[in-house]
Amino acid sequence: MTFEVQVASTTGVSALIPVTISRLHASETLLTPSSSSVSAGEPVSLTAKVAGETPGAGPTGTVTFATTGGAPLGSASVSPDGSATLSGVMLPLGVHEVGASYSGDATHAGSLAPNAQITVSKQATTTTLTASTAAAEVGGELTLSAEVTGGSPTGSVEFVSGETSLGTATLAGGVATLTTKELTAGEHALFAVYSGDASHAASESADVTVAVAAGRETKPVAPGRQVVAQTGAGPQAETRTPVIAQTGAGADYRTWVAAGAMLLGAAGAVVLARRRGRAGSSTVTDHN
């Protein structure tokens, strides 16, 4: 708007001088985050849309983004379409109120956007358990491996049988491994529990069933007893042939026979290794 103002000089001569007064147009700013809920370590983009009343010429200038009560997150210039975007914003765990402030320009007044809420949660994880075998023996080694996926988890995994902890192992490359001999005879439901870390949530695997059998027993042979091999298809064709006699408790005898392999040790124990015969199964018996 232009006005004429009369100005008098010291000589008494007055003149009309035109004066133009410009009014700043109001602006309105709205803030929209790329997501209202993200995982820790996941960037978020903040976009502010600035609208003004000037016909034909949109607002210019910059928009500053900040968390409520916190330091500024960064600034972005207003593009011809009135938007300003700040990308790659990393926020810590928790619930954040984020705001945007438009600076204004020569024809537009500044404005503040209503706050937007962004929740940052721990990264979800998945734990998968595998066992080296589904059938083990008492006293035998069983290797358990737990793979934890979802981001780049660190920390440890606990391996559990029912309500009994078998031990813990540290993650290396997303995998934790434990070897145990502690399982008793019977069927065991095993699972793995990932404890989580500063950025990753805890998780638990599904059960893995492992059947543990009692160990094989050896048959003691007293010193001086005779061991013979029995061959044939049945009782009607029995042939008893002396094989070896252990006469001293301190001797170490090793003999392999066609009917079955046996080891007679100093402790007086015999271990049988059976094999299939042509006429039937071969067995090894002992007699006093």
Structure tokens at 154: 């660190």
Q: Which residue has the tokens 């410009």?
A: 22
What pLDDT does residue 217 have?
A: 53
pLDDT at 141 over 90: yes
What pLDDT does residue 16 have?
A: 62
Q: List, for residues 29-86, the tens digit of each pLDDT value.
A: 999 999 999 999 899 999 999 998 766 678 999 999 999 877 799 999 999 999 999 9
Buried b (16+ CB within 10 A) or exposed e, 206-245: eebebebeeeeeeeebeeeeebbbebbeeeeeeeeeebee
pTM of this prediction? 0.58
Q: Say how far apart CA 145 and CA 139 lie, in whole Å.
A: 19
Identify the weakest region by mean pLDDT among 182-196, 217-231, 270-284: 270-284
What pLDDT does residue 196 have?
A: 96
pLDDT at 267 over 60: no
According to DSSP, the β-strands at 142-149 and 126-131 are: antiparallel
The conformation of residue 235, written as its DSSP 8-state character, comes to G
Q: Say how far apart CA 161 and CA 188 lie, in whole Å.
A: 6
Q: Which residues contact 55 (CB under 8 A, 6 or more apart)?
A: none
What pLDDT does residue 159 have?
A: 98
Q: pLDDT above 90 covers what percent of the chain?
A: 59
Q: List, for residues 84-114, the tens digit of each pLDDT value.
A: 999 999 999 999 999 999 999 988 999 999 9
